[in-house]
Amino acid sequence: MAPRKLAAGNWKMNGILASLDEIDALALAHENAGCDILICPPALLVQPAAWHGKQIVAIGGQDCHANASGAHTGDISAAQLKDAGAEYVILGHSERRADHNETDAQIAAKAAAAHAADLIAIICVGETEAQRDAGETLDIIARQLAGSIPAGSTAANTVIAYEPVWAIGTGRTPTNDQIAEVHALMRDRLESLVGSAGDVTLLYGGSVKPGNAAEIFALPNVNGALVGGASLTASDFGAIITALDAA
Ligand SMILES: O=C[C@H](O)COP(=O)(O)O
């Protein structure tokens, strides 16, 4: 089994009900896409987004709690996301790691909860600019993978996204060699962490745009993208989907 290609959009804290028209446009334009298409809107929009996706565009959450239910004001469980129509959940995004002090161990616990609720966990890893400048990138990625991937992870329930923190929303991207180097390391380490490493979908994220998508998708071990800003409109995200389809 080859990894499934995935074009994943992370709307972050953007979008209102009217924004779901973009999902309608994606579903219409890409109903025969040869890759999986995913939009992760803010939590309030997950349920209506699932109706708009028409089973062409899958829907995901941007976080979940590690517990199945209980006294956790303001949090959302994996089962609630699933009940609302989500199929995926992004976990350990660097904005969550930074804004909410999320640790690798907490991310692993959330991923285990996601798996228990039959969600696919998109586990994010990535180095800061200071860590890259210090030559620590591969060590950081290896450590985050080892700490953030729970037992029981498989190629079917887990996607890994490499997102250098310094490339997110900046218009800057690593060189092709730098992306390929990290993705090769991830593929290697996943053999012991997930098994069937060759089947795991690996995404690159960080300033993916219509203009650079094809070049990134041509790199070895890159099976798609986790896209922020360019996923907010069907025109830009559609161009990225088309590039992935052709890769
Ligand atoms: O989750 C998505 C990433 O943080 C990338 O965001 P960006 O495409 O706006 O750089």
pLDDT digits (tens, 9 = 90+) for 47-95: 999 999 888 999 999 999 999 999 999 999 999 999 999 999 999 999 9
% residues pLDDT > 90 (the chain): 97
Instruction: List the CATH number of the domain containing 66.
Output: 3.20.20.70
- Structural domain contains residue 1: no
Does the predicted TM-score (pTM) go above 0.90? Answer: yes
The Å distance, Cα 229 to ligand 1 centre, comes to: 6
Active site (annotated) includes residue 93: yes
pLDDT digits (tens, 9 = 90+) for 96-120: 999 999 999 999 999 999 999 999 9
Residue 195: the pLDDT is: 86
- Structural domain contains residue 74: yes
Q: Name the residue with the closest Cα to ligand 1, atom 7.
A: 228
Mean of the per-residue pLDDT values of the chain? 97
Query: Once rounded to an integer, what is the mean pLDDT over residues 27-51?
Result: 96
Active site (annotated) includes residue 163: yes
Q: Are 40 and 88 in contact (CB under 8 A)?
A: yes
Beta partners for 60? Answer: 88
Domain that holds residue 152: 6-246
Name every protein residue with a CB atom under 6 angstroms from any ligand 1 atom. Answer: 10, 93, 163, 168-169, 205-208, 226-230
126 in a known ligand binding site: no
**Does an H or E element contain 225, and which?**
strand 224-227
**140 Cβ neighbours under 8 A, 6+ residues apart:** 125, 127, 131
Residue 53: the pLDDT is: 82
The three-state secondary structure class of 60 is strand
Query: Once rounded to an integer, what is the mean pLDDT over residues 203-208?
Result: 98
Q: Name the residue with the closest Cα to ligand 1, atom 2.
A: 228
Query: Once rounded to an integer, what is the mean pLDDT over residues 29-51?
Result: 96
Split into its structural domains, the chain has a count of 1
